[in-house]
Amino acid sequence: MLASLRASVLSLARDKALLVWTLAFPIIMTLIFMGMFSGIQDAYTTVGSTLGVVRDKNYSAAMGLDETIQAISDPTSSDHICNVTYYESAADAEAAANATEVDAYLTVDAEGAPQLHVTNASLSENGTLPTSVLAEILDTYQHTRAAAEKVAATRPELLATGEAIGAFTESAVQTVRLTATKNPPSPDARYYYALLAMAAGMGATAAMVSVRRLLPTAGPLGARQALAAVPRWRMLVGALLGAWLCEFACLLVAALFMWGVAGVSFGNDASGVVVALAASSLMACAAGTLCGTVTRMETSMISGITCLLSLFTGLYGTASQQLADTIETSVPALAHANPLWQTTNSFYALLYYDTPDAFLESVAALLIMTLVFLALASFRLRRTSYDHL
């Protein structure tokens, strides 16, 4: 068993495929992610846009509108939402918008109701959110004005003292932002975890290659080893352990790299991370063993399957994350059956939850999958060996 473990470790360490997939691949992608996500935190927090304002007589007549606009365009204020350019006429503003100088422009109609005009280009580039924020601010302005008018109609004396408006605009109600999770939610952690899961999945090729080498059906090398005076299962277990050790080591280095170089947060429980990596790589090796017993399986198929499963961990950008979330909320069983999802989730649980149950659930799921894969593999192995003899 030790001999086949050694052979498996040596040949995997010398064959570059495993190193490429489970070490070089996550490290390269981490470097890319590092660059990308240096901007993503801002992107998720900023709502900024450029707004054109048509300063005609309707605009000037609209009570309090200019103050509102100035408040949100003051670059020193925490309420800063947009940069404003003023135009004399709607035609000027529209020309500016078409020349993509501003994302949107504001006009006021004869009744004093503000109207927002948005360009398609700004929507396809920045999404609808900045526009929504502008619209919401204008809504609040309109509603507050309507409320003030209502108050003025009932108690005109309050209008004179300014109380009618002041009561609505002194920000008497505030929100406080609380943190529910152990660590603050981070948009990029999800990418890194999905990346680790993908690397783990790709590592299944290592076990597949190691195990296949031992099968008499796989050619002269396999036949020679099948003739050895050692029980088959011991050689297989040795090969599996060897592949697992290699993959585990690679993933550990990759995770260390993410943590040390890219500053990815894994929570405070280092031992938990090690356990999660060990369980994920074990699951992948078991899956690889099962694949090894299928003669038609090729390494490229494993990478293909892993690519597909990674879609549901949200690796491929925001759209794939939305898809993954939708599946998780509507058909949770389907999401949970994805071994890569369990891997991702185990890291998640470590980062966010203050109780270990979610983490333990994911690790347990990974171990159960391991057992299922191994059981299927041993069933198939028994059959192939009889077939062969």
Contact code string over 212-251 relative to other proteins, x by CB under 8 A: ----------------------------------------
User: Binding to other proteins by residue 173, rule CB under 8 A?
Assistant: yes
Among 14, 76, 160, 176, binds other proteins (CB under 8 A): 176
User: Binding to other proteins by residue 334, rule CB under 8 A?
Assistant: no
Q: Rule CB under 8 A: which of 179-218 touch other proteins?
A: 179-182, 184-187
User: Binding to other proteins by residue 117, rule CB under 8 A?
Assistant: yes
177 neighbors 188 (Cβ within 8 angstroms): no
Nearest of 15, 52, 31, 320 to residue 194 by alpha carbon: 320
Candidates 131-139, 250-258, 261-269, 362-370 — which segment interacts with other proteins by CB under 8 A? 131-139
Candidates 135-143, 246-254, 267-275, 371-379 — which segment interacts with other proteins by CB under 8 A? 135-143
Q: Decide: helix, strand or coil at residue 261.
A: coil
- How near is the Cβ of 236 to other proteins at its closest, in Å? 23
Q: Rule CB under 8 A: which of 37-56 touch other proteins?
A: 38-41, 43-47
User: Binding to other proteins by residue 151, rule CB under 8 A?
Assistant: yes
User: Binding to other proteins by residue 144, rule CB under 8 A?
Assistant: yes
- How near is the Cβ of 355 to other proteins at its closest, in Å? 7
254 neighbors 27 (Cβ within 8 angstroms): yes
Quickly count: other Cβ atoms within 10 Å of residue 35's Cβ: 10
- How near is the Cβ of 232 to other proteins at its closest, in Å? 26
User: Binding to other proteins by residue 347, rule CB under 8 A?
Assistant: no
Strand partners, 114: 108
Cα(17)–Cα(19) distance, integer angstroms: 6
Count the residues of the shown chain that bind other proteins, applying the rule CB under 8 A: 110
User: Binding to other proteins by residue 127, rule CB under 8 A?
Assistant: yes
User: Binding to other proteins by residue 131, rule CB under 8 A?
Assistant: yes
Q: Rule CB under 8 A: which of 85-104 touch other proteins?
A: 94, 97-98
User: Per-residue DSSP letters for 298-359?
Assistant: -HHHHHHHHHHHHHTTT-SHHHHHHHHHHHHHH-HHHHHT-HHHHHHHHHHHHHH-SSSHHH
Cα angle: 336, vertex 342, 347; to 5 degrees: 140
Strand partners, 75: none
The smaller minimum CB distance to other proteins, of residues 44 and 379, is found at 44
Among 57, 110, 175, 387, binds other proteins (CB under 8 A): 175
Tokens of 23: 């070490």
Quickly count: other Cβ atoms within 10 Å of residue 285's Cβ: 31
370 neighbors 286 (Cβ within 8 angstroms): yes
Query: How far, rounded to the nearest angstrom, does the alpha carbon of residue 320 sit from its chain's CA centroid?
Result: 9
User: Binding to other proteins by residue 25, rule CB under 8 A?
Assistant: yes
- How near is the Cβ of 95 to other proteins at its closest, in Å? 10
Tokens of 207: 């076990």
Q: Rule CB under 8 A: which of 273-292 touch other proteins?
A: none
Among 61, 91, 113, 337, binds other proteins (CB under 8 A): 113
User: Per-residue DSSP letters for 58-75?
Assistant: HHHHSTTHHHHHHHHH-T
User: Binding to other proteins by residue 301, rule CB under 8 A?
Assistant: yes
